[in-house]
Structure 1
Amino acid sequence: MTTKQIAELANVSRSTVSRVINNYENVPIETKKKVQKIIDEYGYTPNYFARTLAGKNPNIIGIFLADINTTFSSNDWIGINSPYNMELISVIVNLLKSYNHVALVNIITDIKELKNLEHYFLKRIVAGGIFAGFPYNISELEELARKYNIVLIDQMISNDGNDNLKLVNSDNNSGGYIATKYLIDKGHTNILHIAGDNRLSSIQRERGYKTAMKEFNLEPNIIYGMYREDIAYKITKNYVPIHKPSAIFAGNDIMAIGVIKALKELMFRIPEDISVMGFDNLNLTKWFNLDITTMSVSIKDIGENSVKLLFEEKDNYSICRANLIERSSVAEKMK
């Protein structure tokens, strides 16, 4: 018996069933009696961790961020210092307030640390967890998420077909395709893609780029910037003077910033000489008036969907759309 089945039998919403289970006061007495009668008749027992989340003790949600620098880069914009992660944390923390919960932020610097995180859940230090920024297909992470009330951002269901993981993803494959096709439609054929790292978002954005390039019989050019501004800067400095692409599609806005910095130092005009496309639509680019054409995936939506999956019994999978944001860093290719 699930809350969905109870809701269908009682002819009420699943949120109403949840409020009855958690003894909220804003439920009409007759509705409460009807739902409780079905719960009693079918012997429904709420999931332990779902009940924990609904209560007051503990009222802490863990936010676990990966800060695993496999490049030995000196860049400061990684892990907790990443503008993307800071925006995401801000969204999640504010949303947790509406559920009377607070956040405990933990930085994971090595995959081996995942094995030591179980005590947070066993000892009820946290009532649930949100994990973000981790490499794709980490078995230790999946194992932890199957046992406890955990939401994984930017991960995919494993090959064994187990679909009980709570996942929030972006439509990165479509976003990569749309970004690349937009550049092609502007007349660009020599398009460099500075891809990310071993995270699912990078893999899918690269796949979208390849699909668009293949569709128009164009040769893909891919170099991995590891989602780092300084690495994208070095790639641009070394690659552009020799190969002279007319457009660069950076796998995220952070790398696009490195690309723009390098192009300006090389005395290339943007977009007259080289067009630049980013991904993520970070507030940071607007604060510095960089005016980067980019793909926007709402960080607010990612945060909201993650929190909802923790507190509400609903579909375990959520995907956030990617939308093109046209600004001044892309132009028609000069003939």
Structure 2
Amino acid sequence: MTSKSDSVTIREVAQKAGVSVATVSRYINQNAPISKEVSERLKQVMAELRYVPHAAARQLASQKTRVVGLLSNNLHNDFFVPLLNGIEGVVRKHGYNLLIATYHSDNRNMPPPIGPHNTDGILVFSDGLSDDDLIALHARQFPMVLVHRTPPNSLKIPSVTVENKKITFELIEHLIKVHKRKHIMFFRGPIHQEDSFWRETGYKSALMANDIPFDERLVLNGEFERHTAYQTLSKFIATENQIPFDAIFTGDDDAAIGVLKALRENNYRVPEDVSVIGFDDLEFSAFLNPPLTTVSAPTEAVGRIATEQLFSLFDNQFPGDVTLLPTELITRHSCGCIT
């Protein structure tokens, strides 16, 4: 006689299938790879024994939480508002919920707070997960889309980002050719952040193309964050006042707020003494004093497209490798342009 579901244990399922209890648990919770042969055998045995896992485990086994996750190392500044708007609109359209968490991938003592155990798939912003974490999740075929970064080791993980190198070359050349600036400071973003890497690459390329020597002393740490940029520039002015600078590419608009404050407190006029350019064209940029020359980046579109690609993965459709969205220089008075 076939056993009743409420009397069958996971141990009996394992014994009949000829596998360990741990293997049955992995099959139910989908938290580690299992061969197709073993999966089919377990499916057959559980049907024969009429074994029904606990409701929560059953949800995990089907991977239908109807939750999409966003994982980032921080959510500190205004940049994330349009990104989240783009993500949330698509999630709501599909009848899902959005779970947002911050995680520092260098903390190896704590696992990521969101993943296969509580979402159907995740969006990973920048360095929100380490390469090792991404490789492990990819091996389990867990749906992921990367935002503002490319996958490690050429893994087949979709990625959505914006063009950084070419537009940075253009904005640095604008400072050099239009405003005759020759001592241009650059504020780096967070270490290992791909946007920062490509912006620095474009910065160096423009200097080289215009026969301006690269000066490492003019590359400062801004972290894409206003308080850090303010403190860094204030210290530079106080201790390195013999090093000339006549323009600053702040790396992003949030850092530009701190840069403008430090310049103002130290009696530098913008743009008469120092031209200032940001990146992202956030909502406040046109309202700064002076209005900020910056780069228009389609941040909301990045969030929207990345989320649509994640839902394509749910339907077993691979949307492509890297989606690179265009950017555009927006000139205002902070660089010296008359607008």
Question: TM (normalized to structure 2)?
Answer: 0.71
Change (3 A) 1:161 1:138: closer
Q: Where does residue 87 of structure 1 map in the other structure?
A: 82
Report deviation, 1:309. Answer: 1.1
Structure showing greater radius of gyration is 2
Contact map agreement 2:162 2:327 (CA 8 A) in 1: yes
1:131 to 124, 138, 141: 124
Alpha-carbon deviations, 1:282-324, whole Å to 9, x = none?
A: 1133455651101121111111210121112221321111210
Change (3 A) 1:81 1:197: closer
2:173 to 171, 181, 184: 181
Pair 1:208-2:205 in alignment: no
**Percent identical:** 22
Change (3 A) 1:91 1:131: same
Pair 1:140-2:137 in alignment: no
Pair 1:116-2:108 in alignment: no
Secondary structure of 1:237 counterpart: helix
Q: Where does residue 272 of structure 2 map in the other structure?
A: 272
2:232 to 224, 231, 235: 235
2:190 to 172, 192, 197: 197
Contact map agreement 1:129 1:149 (CA 8 A) in 2: yes
Report deviation, 1:110. Answer: 4.4
**Aligned CA-pair RMSD:** 2.6
**Could you tell me how far apart the structure 1 residues matched to 2:295 and 2:135 are?**
28
Equivalent residue letter for 2:94: Y
Pair 1:318-2:323 in alignment: yes
In the TM superposition, 1:9-48 aligns within 5 A as none
Equivalent residue letter for 2:284: L
Alpha-carbon deviations, 1:243-271, whole Å to 9, x = none?
A: 23111111111111111001111111111
Equivalent residue letter for 1:278: G
Report deviation, 1:210. Answer: 0.4
Q: Which 5+ residue runs of structure 2 have no aligned equivalent? A: 1-58
Q: Where does residue 61 of structure 1 map in the other structure?
A: 68
Report deviation, 1:194. Answer: 1.3
**Could you tell me how far apart the structure 2 residues matched to 1:193 and 1:287 are?**
23
**Could you tell me how far apart the structure 1 residues matched to 2:210 and 2:225 are?**
29
Contact map agreement 1:114 1:141 (CA 8 A) in 2: no
Change (3 A) 1:264 1:230: same
**Could you tell me how far apart the structure 1 residues matched to 2:110 and 2:146 are?**
16
Q: Where does residue 32 of structure 2 map in the other structure?
A: none
Contact map agreement 1:88 1:299 (CA 8 A) in 2: yes
Larger deviation, residues 303-312 vs 128-137: 128-137
Contact map agreement 1:188 1:246 (CA 8 A) in 2: yes
**Could you tell me how far apart the structure 2 residues matched to 1:304 and 1:177 are?**
27
Secondary structure of 1:184 counterpart: helix
Larger deviation, residues 225-234 vs 99-108: 225-234
Contact map agreement 1:278 1:293 (CA 8 A) in 2: yes
Contact map agreement 2:226 2:257 (CA 8 A) in 1: yes
**Could you tell me how far apart the structure 1 residues matched to 2:331 and 2:210 are?**
22
Change (3 A) 1:171 1:237: same
Q: Which 5+ residue runs of structure 1 have no aligned equivalent? A: 1-51, 67-78
Question: TM (normalized to structure 1)?
Answer: 0.71
Report deviation, 1:118. Answer: 8.5
Contact map agreement 2:66 2:96 (CA 8 A) in 1: yes
